[in-house]
Chain A
Amino acid sequence: MILNTPSEAVLSNADSLMSVQGISKAFGDQRVLADISFDVISGEILGLIGPNGAGKTTLLECIAGLLPIDSGEVRWRGAPLSACQRKQLLFYVPEAISPYPDQRSAEVLRFFCEANRQPPKRLDELVAALRLEPALAKPLGALSKGYRRRLLLALGLLAPRPMLLMDEPFDGFDLRQTREVMSLLRDEALHGRTLALA
């Protein structure tokens, strides 16, 4: 199921930003995605809802270009978007990963900030908004699930792409943290960033 939540930005720009057309994907004999099509409007927060194993993660990875698709295509403002071009416009934040377990959070955040050519101020803002200060001195492998999830969100938000794809962005959060993160994501959407959450 796909839920679209239009924000104020959507109202001012009703053109389709990204269009997924007829994506199919199979692993061997098992068909995971069958002819999936939908449109996303600029500034929209799109929700992908489905039971475990429905193929949400596979769909996001296919869109992000991290999995080859068997058929179908992704279009950006009406033009076909090759897998190479996708990393210039999309950033996918995976769910079940534990990257760089031996490196400290501060080092990893700083690397992603510098690699994306973002000012240090942007990193400071995200660290404050996601309440990551207590985790900065710890290696990623020593972080709790909630902190690791927040750090991954920060890495995604550091990527200055028009559209973010997030897999289980609220996994590991309590109610208060979920509300805070939702508020942060709404704020991103209000500033014109398009979000797809699974």
Chain B
Amino acid sequence: MAAPLLSHRPIALQAPLLRKEIRELASGNALWVLMLLLSPLVGYSFIQAVALYAEASRPARAIPELARQLSSFDGILVPTLGGFYLAITLLFPFIAIRLVAAEKTSGGLKLLVQLPYRLTDLVTAKFVALMAAWLVALIPVLSALIGWVFLGGHLDIRETVTLLLGHMLYALLIGAISFLAAALTEGGATAAILALAVTLGSWVLDFAALDRGGVSSLLASLSLTSLLRPFEQGLLSIPAILAMLVATAGFLALTAIWLPPGTPLKRKLSGSALIIVVAAILIGGAAQANTVLDVTPDRRNSFPPADEHLLSRLREPLSVTVHMATSDPRLVDLDRKVLARLKRAMPRVTVQIADSGQATPLGTAGEADYGEIAMTYRARSATTRSTGAGEILPMLYELAGVSSPPPSTTGSDEPGYPLVADASSSAIWFYGIEPFAVAVAWWLAAGNRRIPWRRS
């Protein structure tokens, strides 16, 4: 019976392991608490977004120019998923931590690591279960989107999928960080503190970057929230996707190293160092991928096609120096409407913010060059104070010695989607029916299940 098993290879990820993790997920309280809170949170965000959208739509029904500015994506989807983002940031770590920490504290891990599974299989099964939890958590969001369509609202499939993809990658990254926190610490409470310190620390970095440039801006670009931002603008950012995937895989690999008992500390440290170096190289490489797709139907994040085509042919380095404080709203406007688009359209663009605006107590607004935007191309320079593409692009074309393309005569084909609707009746669903259904599912998962012992 007990034949030598040295030739026995570790089995691959299997259904029994995954079923066990799903049972662990369902039998715990964290998922159900998240669902109970998520439903009213998303519902409130959705109802408020629809009300505000209706307010904006009333005058737009008579003015086509106003109507063109109205997008369901910015007006409904992003705000509705804002509540989802909040819940995922604050509550999703608890689900992830439970999947790892429960077995550590109960002693089940000592049994689990002796089963013929690879450590990567164990961590992967837990992660797949976590992805299943995210899909379950998405139910309130999907019901809000269905509700929007039911009210007569417009949804663009490419924008919607891009936004959901961003939120999924964000949640998986949060989950992987939480896994590592649970693997590193002895108790679930300590792991929760560690995971929340990272997620909430990201918010702090973001806030800090609002008023300061330099190192703060650099750190803010590494924050978890900033990774989600392109998706919220309707941009499918390949660098962001690759960076999030690599970071997630890196945190999972670190979890596999730190989770098992019995591994000497020296080996854990050397393995961790290797993973961090490899992940840093891969993320650095991903950042070089300059592919960002504007999936919005009206291409509102991009220059007109004729300009993009012309800009893509300008192969020489373009240097842009902006003399503005990072907290200046004009810089934010310039970045979104000109600089970010230039970076995507031209192969070699360098942007330098020359003045942080916070350096002296006297401020910088009085400095002579404050507000100037200097551009250098082929050793020729020009300066402007305008932050609009209508002035900056012709200046660039003049520096490059090319003619401006003819202005687009058709304009945007998108008519805009104004809608005066009232979603207040959906409160019954979000505040009543859905939480009740969650409570019933929780009760069913917690007990009173009949388990057939013998296989049929």
- Which of A's residues lie within 8 Å of B, judged by CB? 61, 64-68, 83, 85, 87-92, 94, 96-104, 106-107, 110-112, 114-117, 120, 124, 136-137, 139, 155, 159-163, 191-193
Contact = CB atoms under 8 A, between A and B. Distances in A.
Contacts of B111: 94, 97, 99, 112, 155
A99 B20 CA distance: 12
A103 B115 contact: no
A111 B20 contact: yes
B451 A87 contact: no
Nearest to A113: B16
Nearest to A62: B262
Contact of B107 (A97, A110, A192, A193): A97
Given A103-B27, A106-B451, A116-B115, A94 B8 contact: no
Closest 8 CB pairs of A and B: A97-B107, A99-B108, A102-B27, A114-B16, A68-B264, A162-B2, A88-B5, A66-B262
A136 B453 contact: yes
A67 B115 contact: no
Contacts of B262: 61, 64-68, 83
Contact of A103 (B2, B24, B110, B264): B24
Interface of B: 1-6, 8, 11, 14, 16-17, 19-20, 23-24, 27-28, 103, 106-108, 110-111, 113-117, 261-265, 446-447, 449, 451, 453-455
B107 A99 contact: yes
A85 to B, nearest CB: 7
Given A68-B262, A83-B262, A88-B5, A94 B24 contact: no
B10 to A, nearest CB: 9
A103 B3 CA distance: 31
A93 B266 CA distance: 27
Contacts of B107: 94, 96-99
Contacts of B264: 68
B116 A162 contact: no
- Chain B interface main SS type: loop
A160 B106 contact: no
Contacts of A163: 2
A111 B16 CA distance: 6
A97 B1 contact: no
Nearest to A109: B453
A97 B115 contact: no
16 contacts: A64-B262, A65-B262, A66-B113, A68-B264, A88-B5, A90-B114, A97-B106, A97-B110, A99-B103, A102-B28, A103-B20, A114-B16, A115-B17, A115-B116, A117-B116, A160-B1
Contact of A100 (B108, B263, B449): B108
A107 B447 CA distance: 13
Given A139-B447, A161-B5, 4 more contacts: A96-B107, A99-B111, A115-B11, A124-B454
